Amino acid sequence: ERTTVGVVGLGAMGLGMATTLAGKGFAVKGFDLSEARRTLAAEGGVTPVEALTDVFFDTNFIVFSLPTAKDVAAVVEANLEALKAAGRRVVIIDTSTSEPDVSRDLAAALAGLGHGFIDAPVSGGPAGAASGKLTMMIGGSDADVALAGPVIDAMSAKALHVGPSGAGNVAKLVNNLLAAAHMVTTGEGLKLALAAGLDADEALKVLNAASGKSMISEVHFPTWVMNGRFDSGFTMGLMRKDVRLASELAARTGADLPLSGAVAKLWAESPLENAEDFTRMGAFRPVANDN
Ligand code: NAD
């Protein structure tokens, strides 16, 4: 019999995860507040449900792909009765980039009801979600991670169980802090090259053949920045959230991060208008008319 998996949140990431799971033989029930997203999921072999609680009925695993920790907590809260009444163990696999403390609190609350909750934020963008090749960073108990193994493996090329509850989101915030910094440093490096009379494409080629490279310079700049398309599928608003969460984590843990402080300030102050994408930051665009 096919394992039934629920997916809550069928956005840029969740849609690809849901259709990947359906394509790999899971029976998938998907819910999103947006009807348009539910329709897209149905076209990809997912059974759309009209009410959030329907996702909690008859499933052993529920994947979340929601914008913020607040959304994650609200969805769990709204379904506590359904979870209390469930006559089986449910493991929630939260792939949202969320807050470590919220992950820990939800895992503890759900453990009290006999259910599992693991934080499993991801890297790889919509393309990685749609191809089942995400990198997943996981926090949770060994037992829950093992139970969720087949679902995790179907969605990811690399799944790293980094520690107990909350650890996945700590790892993800560290990763995105670096990605946000690389956006700034790569943009500034190319800006300097331009100012000093070097062609930006030539400068980028050099970086990618030398020690200045990162995934941002190797993938993001050639694919979404240099051509002015800025359509990676990740939004400015989500990146600002991640950088803010990383800064809050630094403040709470007493980690003194001077450069990250400057990066966080740049992201927080960057204009949001016309910012469908996190690279749409005038100051960092490596184009000659940037002033
Ligand atoms: P998105 O905004 O495209 O999708 C979120 C979806 O959740 C939307 O379709 C929205 O309608 C839905 N939603 C919101 N509240 C809901 C609720 N209560 N019930 C049901 N559906 C609800 O965002 P995304 O880009 O898919 O990102 C999802 C998460 O993954 C975020 O935490 C983000 O930071 C993280 N992430 C995104 C990327 C990326 O490249 N887009 C990469 C890695 C991680």
- CATH number at 209 reads 1.10.1040.10
Ligand 1 close to Cβ of residue 139 (< 6 A): no
DSSP for the chain, please give it. -PPEEEEE--STTHHHHHHHHHHTT-EEEEE-S-HHHHHHHHHTT-EE-SSHHHHTSS-SEEEE--SSHHHHHHHHHHTHHHHHH-SS--EEEE-S---HHHHHHHHHHHHTTT-EEEE--EESHHHHHHHT-EEEEEES-HHHHHHTHHHHHHHEEEEEEEESTTHHHHHHHHHHHHHHHHHHHHHHHHHHHHHTT--HHHHHHHHTTSTT--HIIIIIIIIIITTS---SS--HHHHHHHHHHHHHHHHHHT---HHHHHHHHHHHHS--TT-SSTT--GGG---TT--
Ligand 1 close to Cβ of residue 14 (< 6 A): yes
Ligand 1 site-directed mutation target among 15, 17, 19, 32, most atoms within 8 Å of CB: 32
Print the domain residue range for 85.
4-164
Ligand 1 close to Cβ of residue 23 (< 6 A): no
Q: Is 84 a catalytic residue?
A: no
- In this prediction, what percent of the chain has a pLDDT beyond 90? 78
Ligand 1 close to Cβ of residue 150 (< 6 A): no
- Tens of pLDDT along 239-262? 888 999 999 999 999 999 999 999
Arithmetic mean of pLDDT, 194-223:
93
Q: Both 253 and 271 in a single domain?
A: yes
Q: How many domains does the chain have?
A: 2
The answer, yes or no, to whether residue 71 has pLDDT greater than 60, is yes
The answer, yes or no, to whether residue 194 has pLDDT greater than 70, is yes
ipTM for the predicted complex: 0.99
Ligand 1 site-directed mutation target among 19, 49, 52, 66, most atoms within 8 Å of CB: 66
Of 24, 84, 158, 172, which is the active-site residue?
A: 172
Q: Both 57 and 158 in a single domain?
A: yes
Q: Both 204 and 253 in a single domain?
A: yes
- Tens of pLDDT along 16-61? 999 999 999 999 999 999 999 999 999 999 999 999 999 999 999 9
Is 290 a domain residue? no
The domain boundary residue, chosen from 146, 164, 182: 164
Ligand 1 close to Cβ of residue 66 (< 6 A): yes
Q: What is the pTM of this model?
A: 0.93
- Tens of pLDDT along 99-153? 999 999 999 999 999 999 999 999 999 999 999 999 999 999 999 999 999 999 9
Average pLDDT of the chain, as a whole number = 91
Arithmetic mean of pLDDT, 196-209:
94
- CATH number at 85 reads 3.40.50.720
Residue 225's pLDDT is 84
Q: Both 99 and 216 in a single domain?
A: no
Distance between Cα 71 and ligand 1 center (Å): 10
Is 75 a domain residue? yes
Distance between Cα 84 and ligand 1 center (Å): 26
- Tens of pLDDT along 220-243? 899 888 887 777 888 777 888 899
Quick one: pLDDT band at residue 267, thresholds 50, 70, 90? confident
